[in-house]
Amino acid sequence: MCGVFGVHSADRDVARLTYFGLFALQHRGQESAGIAVSEGGRVTAVRDMGLVAQVFDEEKLAALPGEVAIGHTRYSTTGGAHWSNAQPLVHHGAARTVALAHNGNLVTPGPLRDELLAAGVRIASTSDTEVIAGLLGRDPAPLPEAVAATMARLDGAYSIVAIVGGTLVAFRDPLGIRPLTLGRIGDDWVVASETCALDLIGADVVRDVLPGEVVWVDDEGCHSAQAVPRGRSAACIFEHVYFARPDSSLGGTGVHAARVRMGERLAEEAPVDADLVMPIPDSGTPAAIGFAKRSRIPYEEGLIKNRYVGRTFIEPDQELRRQGIRLKFNPLDEIAGRRLVIVDDSIVRGNTMRALVQMLDDAGAAEVHVRISSPPVVSPCFYGIDMADEDELAAAHRSVEEMREHVGATSLHYLSLDGMQWATRLPEEEVCRACFTRSYPTRVPAGRLAAKHRFEATASR
């Protein structure tokens, strides 16, 4: 997850453009938000906990003039949800000052972090991101060579936007695990995690930043180089299933259309005799549309979602916590006595689906048939998804029938691996499907070496 955005322009309000870019990428992270700008080579950053609209207002944006800006919305995968881990980070290195924002997750940042600390480099955060900034900040080589040398030492997923002096820099890991797209607004260059952010600010999509490529934009224009050799492409297929906004395009494939195809294929693979198809909003909506279309079972909204849950700092009291799922969903009266097909994109821990099935039963549904538009999630992700340990993944050690019993459904079926792959229109050899297959494109750590909070106790303050 996480959303990154960057823009270089001598004439536009780069902080405001970045604000709206982040607004379009809010779905990729809701823990913290930040913007860094460079004015004449001087970097200023504002970052805080909360949503983009909670962190920034007119006064703060007006105080961020400059020619280059980068922004970030955070979803934590290494390092806890606290202010010191909010991004963009500003790192003052021996060779250069670097403002940097990162989407992805390094697989083995520990040795690099230890090396930097031993060399006297101050690391103020507990995320893996400052390792990247630390390596780049102490390398005295010219910028493209310093980026290439830094990338050669990193292992894992990283789509990066950075400011070095008055230059906008973007680079992507050699497997291209997380998305990063280059665009233009007039004569100015923009980079963003997803195309939906370019759409919002009126920029044209130019192309994806290639795996292993570095792009830098300065007063002379846009430049690029293959910084490290490309590996086999391993774009995250879960971006197509869940992460990306439906109005984005990934690898040339429209996300909404891919999710509708997942629902259509699911209806072919797991037909059911029912009265209506309903989504778990909003994640299951496109697939439910596809399922209804192919099965010719009427599509209806059966659950009303409170879209502001999780957007407040006020904790529910004990009685509201007992109500659980009703904080987020409430069923309509129309489902009573009807045979339902409920469609969602995935089941991870299974707690939400079990509570939803129980709530629909309590509301009088005659049958509740669960259809999932991806295969069972059986293995954790090390590349930027805060996914549970394998023992906490509901389907990791259960059969489909055991999962049906676990969630309490009348029936349960998942989309096949082949069906999901077909829906994305991407070749199997160009995606990472490790969370569904346990087959990783890189070496992965075990035990506490992969723990999210592994650097919390040793952080330098």
Q: Which residue has the tokens 């069906």?
A: 419
- Amino acid at residue number 291: F
Task: Place 461 in a pLDDT band, splitting at 50, 70 and 90.
Answer: very low
CB 446 within 8 A of CB 110: no
User: Which of 97-106, 142-151, 448-457 is predicted with the least confidence, judged by mean pLDDT?
Assistant: 448-457
> Residues 295-312: pLDDT tens digits?
999 999 999 998 777 655
Assigned token pair, 160:
């990066």
> Residues 105-133: pLDDT tens digits?
999 899 999 999 999 999 988 889 999 99
Instruction: Please tell me the predicted confidence (pLDDT) of residue 313.
Output: 54
Neighbours of 333 (CB within 10 A): 8
Strand partners, 344: 372
> Residues 402-412: pLDDT tens digits?
999 999 999 99
Task: Give me the mean pLDDT over the 146-162 stretch.
Answer: 97
Q: How far apart are CA 361 and CA 340, in angstroms?
A: 10
> Residues 324-333: pLDDT tens digits?
788 889 999 9
Q: Is the pLDDT of residue 337 over 90?
A: yes
Higher pLDDT, 457 or 180: 180
Alpha-helical (H) ranges within 296-416 are 318-323, 351-362, 400-407
Assigned token pair, 117:
């600390």
2 is catalytic: yes
Q: How many angstroms separate the Cα of 431 from the Cα of each of 234, 314, 380, 386, 404?
A: 4, 40, 16, 19, 29
Neighbours of 447 (CB within 10 A): 8
Residue 212 phi, psi (nearest 5)? 80, 5
Q: Is the dihedral of CA 182, 184, 188, 192 positive or negative?
A: negative
Q: How far apart are CA 380 and CA 84, in angstroms?
A: 26
> Residues 236-285: pLDDT tens digits?
999 999 999 999 999 889 999 999 999 999 999 999 999 999 999 989 99
Nearest to 339, CA basis, from 311, 309, 297, 378: 297
- Amino acid at residue number 64: L
Q: How far apart are CA 127 and CA 88, in angstroms?
A: 12
CB 419 within 8 A of CB 266: yes
Task: Give me the mean pLDDT over the 4-8 stretch.
Answer: 98
Q: Is the pLDDT of residue 321 over 70?
A: no
% of the chain surpassing 90 pLDDT: 82
Q: Is the pLDDT of residue 388 over 90?
A: no
Task: Place 288 in a pLDDT band, splitting at 50, 70 and 90.
Answer: very high
Q: How far apart are CA 276 and CA 337, in angstroms?
A: 11
Q: Is the pLDDT of residue 226 over 60?
A: yes
> Residues 63-103: pLDDT tens digits?
999 999 999 999 877 667 788 889 999 999 999 999 999 99
Q: Which residue has the tokens 């891919």?
A: 258
Instruction: Please tell me the predicted confidence (pLDDT) of residue 309.
Output: 72
